[in-house]
Chain A
């Protein structure tokens, strides 16, 4: 739940990095932690196992700047990706304002990605949140690996688009991050669909990490305004 605190002049928002185990969610946060100046971020908190697998969550607060005199503070969370930690995953989604789905691009992880995406939809629905109508971006991580699946295949499997039924939203909307592509468009069948913005990334080197964070943060702030 975003909070506009007029007393402390702060806007606080919660962003959750979701996705299959070992997909790079924690690596995204670690990169943000390393690159952002200590004055604009808090401590990186990891509730992890001894083998550094996320047990409950990782947490990093980041200040992105000021809007109308309000400090914009984003609380970044990751969830544990392993299938059997669903209780923890669901708890972290409570009050979420924006979601980043970190997919593992490797071909043999396609099924794990799909399972995790379905789990995200299910958990959001249990809270009564409609993922298709809130700030949501997809990050295809590990693009540097030789066994990375082609982008079109990943998009087809994980971000094929959901139907847009409201006439007011049935208008061609270009994807500002990818020239020549659209986020909302009409298919040859006549059906209107919308896809989540997507980003390619190599989180270990930081490629695409900030593009993803900026995109989701912007969507969250625009949803608020």
Chain B
């Protein structure tokens, strides 16, 4: 059996963006959290909704994925397969992170205008829906990808120019 060449690519469309943003916005409205971010397990920001983060979101996404990866290992050490939610409490700002189908991580940033209990409850309610949307997007990417439909056709010249 031949192994796959490497990690596949994910083609994230406007339609995916709209569908996920609607779910995240509804979650923010219901939970009163400030901001929700979706990060893939390899450390890239997929999208976010709510207050525009004032921090470096690229670094945030990378550290979020690393945080989850490290905690997965900790879980295994104590005989669990993983920890599907993580909570980090700050003096003013806190964050709740949830695994979504082992594909992405949903992060909610919230302050004292709401409670951990409410954020957790509302987050649990959308995890499955976010998972389905992400899975649908990934499956479509993979079905459209290999050989049949190049993602960036005829761009060799442009790539070469980038490196001149």
Contacts of B118 in A (CB 8 A): none
Give the number of A-B contacts (CB < 8 Å): 143
Tell me the A residues contacting B by CB distance below 8 Å.
1-8, 11-12, 14, 42-43, 45, 47, 56-57, 59, 61, 64-65, 67-68, 70, 72-73, 75, 87, 91, 94-97, 125, 127-130, 133-135, 214, 217-218, 221-225
Residue of A nearest to B43 (CB): A75
Q: Mark B14-38, 1 if CB is under 8 A from A, else 0.
A: 1011000000000000000000000
Residue of B nearest to A213 (CB): B163
B152 x A67 contact (CB < 8 A): yes
Q: B13's contact among A6, A56, A68, A129, by CB below 8 Å, is which?
A: A6
Docked pose: A129 CA to B56 CA in angstroms: 31
Tell me the B residues contacting A by CB distance below 8 Å.
2-14, 16-17, 40-44, 46-47, 56, 58-59, 62-63, 66, 69-70, 73, 150-156, 158-160, 162-163
A96 x B7 contact (CB < 8 A): yes
Task: Give chain B nearest CB distance to A5 CB in angstroms.
Answer: 5
Of A14, A91, A135, A223, which is in contact with the most chain B CB atoms at under 10 Å from its CB?
A91
B44 x A7 contact (CB < 8 A): no
Docked pose: A67 CA to B160 CA in angstroms: 10
Given the contacts A6-B13, A218-B159, A1 and B152 also touching, CB distance less than 8 Å = no
